Amino acid sequence: MTQRATTGATDEDEILRVFQSKAETKAFYDKISHVYDLLSEHNEGPVRRTGLEKLDAQRGEKVLEIGFGTGHSLVSLAQSVGPTGKVYGLDLSERMLDVSRDNLHKAGLAERVELICGDAVQLPYPPDSLDAIFMSFTLELFDTPEIPKVLAECQRVLRPGGRIAVVGVSKEGESGVTLHAFEWSHRHFPNLVDCRPIFVRQSLEAAGFRIESTERQMMWVPVEVVLGFKADDKSTQ
């Protein structure tokens, strides 16, 4: 099953649906939590750091990471916001939370970070309460109809003028053999390839974010690194 990115899009523009349930996704990441870095860090690490540079967390800020995984970005964000700031983390996997908490304790930063297990379709934070949100290889894990819901929740909890940086596997640009192979694998082996490429920038624009910058990189698949801002109240008057 697929869903088109926009009205009148061609077959090449179709975004695949997610074939696993939330329970199956949680179980998968619980299972691989202690080996995730061995499987993914070499490829994901450099691109994730580009996203963190774009987000540019500042001292004293309140920052949320959705899908924090093994906690590398949490450590970086906690260092950036300093002792007067606060980092929040939300992830579906309890085992990933355990790994992240251990990494934060080793870095001496656990007191700056509050971690919970949950689903970003309903964020447990008050409206206009956060300065920034970070997502890295997470938005593409949500089923296609859920992506607008997640981004609407991001809009809700960000303060006016707040920013969001998203790193995601991308369908943007020329489609190649590798991308087709990735999508084929997702169709036929969703228990192993649980995500698929999406239109990152387009999704953020559709959710009402003002796009500040977009950078495309090549991992083994195309990746978009997008920085967007929530509209400032003054700019909408």
Task: List residues bridging with 133 in a β-sheet.
Answer: 64, 164
Question: Is 234 domain-assigned?
Answer: no
pLDDT for res 42:
86
Question: Is 104 domain-assigned?
Answer: yes
Domain coverage including residue 93: 19-229
Asked if 71 and 100 touch (Cβ cutoff 8 Å), the reply is yes
Residue with tokens 């924090």: 68
Q: How far, CA to CA in Å, does 59 sit from each of 36, 51, 87, 120, 174?
A: 30, 18, 11, 25, 39
pLDDT (tens place) for every residue of the chain, 237 residues total: 444 444 333 345 689 999 899 999 999 999 999 999 888 888 899 999 999 999 999 999 999 999 999 999 999 999 999 999 999 999 999 999 999 999 999 999 999 999 999 999 999 999 999 999 999 999 999 999 999 999 999 999 999 999 999 999 999 865 667 777 878 778 887 767 777 999 999 999 999 999 999 999 988 889 999 999 999 875 554
Identify the three-state secondary structure at position 113. Answer: strand
Question: Is 185 domain-assigned?
Answer: yes
Question: Is 142 domain-assigned?
Answer: yes
Q: How many folded domains does the chain comprise? A: 1
Question: Is 12 domain-assigned?
Answer: no
pLDDT for res 172:
85
Asked if 215 and 225 touch (Cβ cutoff 8 Å), the reply is yes
pLDDT for res 235:
52
Beta carbons within 8 Å of 86's beta carbon, 6+ residues apart: 62, 63, 112, 113, 114
pLDDT for res 237:
42
Question: Is 3 domain-assigned?
Answer: no
pLDDT for res 10:
39
Number of Cβ atoms within 10 Å of the Cβ of 123: 21
- Is the whole-model pTM more than 0.85? yes
Identify the three-state secondary structure at position 8. Answer: coil
Residue type (1 letter), 64: L
Question: Is 181 domain-assigned?
Answer: yes
Q: In the 8-state DSSP scheme, what is residue 65?
A: E
CATH for 96: 3.40.50.150
Q: How far, CA to CA in Å, does 15 sit from each of 3, 19, 195, 223, 228?
A: 5, 12, 11, 15, 22
Number of Cβ atoms within 10 Å of the Cβ of 38: 9
Beta carbons within 8 Å of 174's beta carbon, 6+ residues apart: none
Question: Is 9 domain-assigned?
Answer: no
Residue type (1 letter), 226: V
Among candidate residues 219, 172, 220, 216, the one with its CA nearest the CA of residue 197:
172
pLDDT for res 136:
97
DSSP E strands, the chain: 2-4, 14-16, 62-66, 86-91, 113-117, 130-136, 158-169, 210-218, 222-229
CA 75 – CA 108 distance, rounded (Å): 9
